[in-house]
Chains A and B, each alone.
Chain A
Amino acid sequence: MLEGIFIGLEAAFSVQNILMVVAGCLIGTFIGMLPGLGPMSIIAIMIPVAITLGDPAAALILLAGVYYGAIFGGSTSSILLNAPGVAGTVATSFDGYPMARKGQAGKALTIAAVASFAGGTIGAILLMIFAPALSSVALLFHSAEYFALMVVGLSAIAAFAGTGQVAKALMMTILGLILATVGEGALFNMPRFTMGMLDLQSGISFITLAMAMFALPEAMFLVLNPARGASGEGSGKITNLRFSREEGKAMIPVIGRQSVQGFFIGVLPGAGATIASFLGYAVERNIAKGEEQEEFGKGSVKGLAAPETANNAACTGSFVPLLTLGIPGSGTTAILLGALIALNVTPGPRLMIDTPEIFWAVIISMFIGNLVLLVLNLPLIPYIAKILSIPRNYLIPFILFFTLMGAYIGQNNATELLLLVGLGVMATIFRFADYPLAPLLIGFILGTMLEDNFARSMQLYRGLDFILERPMTLGLLVLAALLVLLPSYRARRARKRAEGVADGD
């Protein structure tokens, strides 16, 4: 491991890569603050830029910087405006916004930055420990296990979708898998479901799909409902970035607990930063004693530090399955996976062995990224926050334009733009009907790999025998079935019980 760290240090500390981290963090913070552009959209926009760099390590470092920056930017807008740009920072606004209303916006931002820094750094240390261990286990996996593992990942994403949402999330996953079958596959040289259209021959571009699923609906909502992301009564000047020694002491145990908890939640597929931040907030509120508990929701230091630590640690945690198994656990890592494949890097257990410099450079750059956020972005925040006062009449056309550009420069194909608008309208309707969209994108990205691994194991075993002959495959598939069925079974039992009680009265 030590050798790896040195390789990573050497790669990450080149002038080019440090510039990448700094640029990534700044761009991420800048755009992440805008309502309507979450980390997924920003990374999707940045992919063409990253691919042009050509060097996979530099590209991944840039994108990881953008990711951290976007999360940080998102918490800035939740604190200052109560308008979270990202779902993962909604919990930040619970205590951050009241603090800003009390005129302590500067302090709130500093606490958020310190908590994010600690969460991200501790997360990166845990990643250094767990990723190599997991990837040595993953080397034992064959295509049959990979197939089963992807099925587990997809069903876990659906299972974490929440009560009454499992079937909907599964439906979206299947739609994503169906969309992935469009075009020519790697195993069969035969176009499928292209309806004779030449533009669909190479399939739907995942950047187009990502833009259509996340950036476009959010922009449409901003148009439809001006109250969303409205500048409100802005918090005015940001002064006094310091917090007191007592407040610092109160934060330390919170940061310690939440960075570990957040990391492990982030590792689970489908859970991610949003769940980690809400859970972190809830846990800390329950642990807190008397007076401190009263403070929650009114501008508590602990209540602000908890979700901020947890969401950054979870972001780092979500890199574990991506780097070791090549399976993304969240929408954002799914987009990163797409970018890696475009750069001719296949993430998975071989990544550490074949290209250790990429693996370790990414981890080391996470430390640098967090440091940059703390040292460089924090003093700049009062100036960057000016972007929030851009009137929406100017902002929305630009958001739409960047969405279109992101899809266009990746493919250089105007048909892609029509596809983007069509899929975007579809996604907006899905959002109205409360369907989760991340499963669709993850299904789409995993679709090709799922089918390839399935086909390979079918060919090796001349049929479905691989399920019975490989116990690990069978075990994983059973786990996948349990994950999907358990939430609805428990809900049903709870309902039955509730009905029984009602009858008894």
Chain B
Amino acid sequence: MALDRWIALIFVTFCCIYGYAAFFTMDQLLPPFMQRNPVWPSTFPKVLAVLGVIVGMIVLLGVEKAEDQDDAPSATEINYRRLGDYKIGQALMLLGLMVLYALMLRPAGFLISTTTFLVAGSAILGERKFHVMIPVAAVATGFVWYLVQEVLGIFLRPFPFFMGM
């Protein structure tokens, strides 16, 4: 089964769960005066769940036939069948780094976590000239912090939590 139909299968399952939540768990919480309304908070989700299952089934069963595309994929075109040739390790490590950044941003402060993120990101991609990358990352971080904090006036905690800022 092709990837797009697996996704359709997951989507149909998701719609069933969503529909279950809409049909069976939402209406009990509704106060009596709102039950006299023609629309309930669950009305729209119910409609969506039903439509979602129908459309998902159409994709899953392949009712709508796609045109066969036999032309060879070009080098810049992205294709999951060539996933083995791609640098999945790097991509996964970068995603992990982004999660780590999200978790560390508050506790470690903006300046440290961002500089580390930029340096580690380029290291994952294979950059070894740290004497260039570290100053570049530090200057860019400082510049963005200044821009966001001072010019836009959005608070970004610059230093780690124990430094009291």
Residues of A within 8 A of B (CB): 48-49, 52, 83, 163-168, 170-171, 174-175, 177-178, 181, 185, 187-188, 190, 192-193, 220-221, 223-229, 391-394, 396-398, 400-401, 404-405, 408-409, 412, 414-415, 417-418, 420-421, 424-425, 429-435, 451, 454-455, 458-459, 462-463, 488, 491, 495
Evaluate contact between B98 and A397: CB separation under 8 angstroms. Answer: no
Which A residues touch B45, using CB under 8 A? 178, 181, 192-193
Cβ of B67 < 8 Å from any Cβ of A?
Answer: yes
**Closest CB in chain B relative to A80 CB, distance in Å:** 15
Evaluate contact between A400 and B87: CB separation under 8 angstroms. Answer: no
Evaluate contact between A171 and B67: CB separation under 8 angstroms. Answer: no
**Closest CB in chain A relative to B73 CB, distance in Å:** 11
Evaluate contact between A400 and B38: CB separation under 8 angstroms. Answer: no
The residue in chain B whose Cβ has the minimal distance to the Cβ of A450 is B44
Beyond A181-B45, A418-B99, whether A412 also contacts B64 by CB under 8 A is: no
**Closest CB in chain A relative to B78 CB, distance in Å:** 5
Evaluate contact between B4 and A167: CB separation under 8 angstroms. Answer: no
Cβ of B118 < 8 Å from any Cβ of A?
Answer: yes
Cβ of B159 < 8 Å from any Cβ of A?
Answer: no
Evaluate contact between B103 and A414: CB separation under 8 angstroms. Answer: yes
Evaluate contact between B117 and A401: CB separation under 8 angstroms. Answer: yes
Evaluate contact between A49 and B152: CB separation under 8 angstroms. Answer: yes
The answer, among A171, A181, A224, A400, for a CB contact under 8 Å with B78, is A224
The answer, among B41, B86, B125, for a CB contact under 8 Å with A188, is B41
Evaluate contact between B88 and A224: CB separation under 8 angstroms. Answer: yes
**Closest CB in chain A relative to B13 CB, distance in Å:** 13
The residue in chain B whose Cβ has the minimal distance to the Cβ of A461 is B38
Which A residues touch B76, using CB under 8 A? 83, 225, 227-229
Evaluate contact between A394 and B133: CB separation under 8 angstroms. Answer: yes
The answer, among B34, B43, B55, for a CB contact under 8 Å with A167, is B55
Evaluate contact between B39 and A454: CB separation under 8 angstroms. Answer: yes
Beyond A220-B91, A404-B98, A434-B4, whether A174 also contacts B52 by CB under 8 A is: yes
Evaluate contact between A190 and B29: CB separation under 8 angstroms. Answer: yes
Evaluate contact between A192 and B26: CB separation under 8 angstroms. Answer: yes
Bound form: Cα–Cα A221–B52 in Å: 29
Bound form: Cα–Cα A188–B16 in Å: 23
Evaluate contact between A166 and B64: CB separation under 8 angstroms. Answer: yes
Bound form: Cα–Cα A463–B106 in Å: 49
The residue in chain B whose Cβ has the minimal distance to the Cβ of A495 is B65
**Closest CB in chain B relative to A434 CB, distance in Å:** 6
Evaluate contact between B117 and A170: CB separation under 8 angstroms. Answer: no
Evaluate contact between B7 and A163: CB separation under 8 angstroms. Answer: no
Residues of B within 8 A of A (CB): 2-4, 6-8, 11, 15, 18, 21, 26, 29-30, 34, 37-41, 43-45, 48-49, 51-52, 55-56, 58-59, 63-67, 75-76, 78-80, 85-88, 90-91, 94-95, 98-99, 101-103, 105-106, 114, 117-118, 121-122, 125-127, 133, 136-137, 140, 144, 148, 152-156
Which A residues touch B90, using CB under 8 A? 223-224
Beyond A225-B78, A226-B87, A405-B144, whether A417 also contacts B44 by CB under 8 A is: no
Which A residues touch B40, using CB under 8 A? 188
Which B residues touch A415, using CB under 8 A? 102
**Closest CB in chain A relative to B144 CB, distance in Å:** 7
Bound form: Cα–Cα A83–B75 in Å: 12
Chain A CB count within 10 A is highest, among B8, B63, B87, B98, for B98
Known: A190-B29, A451-B44. 17 other contacts (CB 8 A): A178-B45, A188-B40, A188-B41, A223-B90, A223-B91, A223-B94, A393-B125, A401-B118, A409-B154, A415-B102, A418-B99, A430-B7, A432-B79, A455-B43, A459-B37, A463-B38, A491-B64
Evaluate contact between B127 and A393: CB separation under 8 angstroms. Answer: yes
Bound form: Cα–Cα A408–B149 in Å: 13
Which A residues touch B156, using CB under 8 A? 409
Which B residues touch A412, using CB under 8 A? 154-155
Evaluate contact between B136 and A394: CB separation under 8 angstroms. Answer: yes
Bound form: Cα–Cα A164–B62 in Å: 9
Beyond A164-B64, A181-B45, A394-B133, whether A459 also contacts B52 by CB under 8 A is: no
Residue pairs across A and B with Cβ atoms less than 8 A apart, 8 shown, are A164-B65, A174-B15, A187-B39, A224-B87, A225-B86, A414-B106, A415-B102, A433-B2
Evaluate contact between B148 and A409: CB separation under 8 angstroms. Answer: yes
Bound form: Cα–Cα A351–B3 in Å: 44
Bound form: Cα–Cα A465–B126 in Å: 64
Which A residues touch B154, using CB under 8 A? 48, 52, 409, 412
Evaluate contact between B105 and A414: CB separation under 8 angstroms. Answer: yes
Evaluate contact between B106 and A228: CB separation under 8 angstroms. Answer: no
